[in-house]
Structure 1
């Protein structure tokens, strides 16, 4: 049974990584500033102010000033997108078994992803995406640390 679970988790991790690559780098992101220099692109498509985007979306939800799909997909999607990583990383990399080590690993991973999106002009650097992704990953890590899950997956 343990071997079966390991095979299922390995296959699902590969599909998860492929889905992340498509969502983060290959999908249409709506940015039409590809003719800008990299510096101009970074200025126009980056948000370094924490909670700016999140508060805009929350206000839009309550005021109805925006199509509800946009804030819900962005807030919930960014939160859920890295939740599985909180389970996969400590499962496959045994050294990532403490919240501090996990947090450092996820911060580095998210930072690299955000920078790649900027440099390739396939997305933006949004600190709020970073925050939501981080919280999602930490919730996933919390799920990983539950004794029932540990017993099932180890």
Structure 2
């Protein structure tokens, strides 16, 4: 039942995330293309410069949690149950999305976003494996 619901909701969820990444949260086209290539440092800089903890949680933790559902993609695409295949596919896709943000100037190409989003997918994959183990044990 949960797998069927996931298969129904993952496409609209993906479209919602793309909306947030390009148009949501008051985004508008930036004057110049922007890139942040220093891993971890830009996130630490953001935390230092941000006064409100809610903004830190929304951006940093949100970049992790919002991508956890993609750790369950193996339920739709069996080859993505393998962590290596999932990570390769996801990192390729999120790099393309970050590149599109850069070229459209509707966001910043940030290495930290790629790392945080990928961490979210990995945590989602771990959660998925845990759920599957629990389901298989209860079926016995």
Structure 1 length-normalised TM: 0.77
Aligned to 2:77: 93
Q: Deviations over 1:33-70 (max 9, x none)?
A: 1xxxxxxx23xx2100011222123435xxxx522232
| Superposed structure 1 runs of 4+ greater than 3 Å apart | 4-7, 57-60, 149-152
TM-score scaled to structure 2, two decimals?
0.84
- Cα distance, 1:151 vs structure 2: 7.2
Gaps of 5+ in 2: none
Q: Which residue of 2 aligns with 1:29?
A: 27
The 3 A distance-change label for structure 1 pair 104 and 32 is closer
Q: Which has the larger radius of gyration?
A: 1
Equivalent residues in 2 for 1:54-69, closer than 5 Å: 54-60=43-49, 66-69=51-54
Aligned-residue Cα RMSD (Å) equals 2.1
Runs of 5+ consecutive residues of structure 1 not aligned to the other structure: 34-40
